[in-house]
Amino acid sequence: MITAAQLKAARALLGMDQRALAEAADLSLPTIQRMEASEGNIRGNVDSLVKLIAALNAAGVELISDGVASAGGGRGVRLKR
């Protein structure tokens, strides 16, 4: 699952505004805004979440889930090599 904080951090790493992410993910701008306004984990329909994660992945961001091996531990985002 992705959190609102991870989504905002991913956009910041990419230098991408909400409108550009909406276009890349084939989602509406209000959908992206609603996702970022979520508390904790983003809630939405599965199709929208899959599109969002695929767009971030294609843009070069790796999402780090809770419990995944990472030097610092915890959730996060990082640019792919």
Query: What mean pLDDT is predicted for residues 12-30?
Result: 97
Integer Cα distance of 78 and 63 in angstroms = 7
Confidence at residue 68, expressed as pLDDT on a 0 to 100 scale: 62
Domain ranges of the chain: 4-79
Q: Please name which of 16, 3, 4 lies closest in space to residue 56, comparing C-alpha atoms.
A: 16
Query: Running DSSP on this structure, what letter comes out for residue 34?
Result: H
Residue 74 has φ and ψ, to the nearest 5°, of: 80, 180
Q: For 55-80, how does the pLDDT look when each residue is reduced to its tens digit (9 = 90+)?
A: 999 999 988 876 666 565 667 788 88
How much of the chain is helix, strand and coil, in % rounded to 5?
50, 10, 35
Pick the CATH number of 4-79 from 3.90.1150.10, 1.10.1750.10, 3.40.50.1360, 1.10.260.40: 1.10.260.40
How much of the chain, in percent, has pLDDT values that exceed 70?
Answer: 88
Q: For 35-44, how does the pLDDT look when each residue is reduced to its tens digit (9 = 90+)?
A: 999 998 898 8
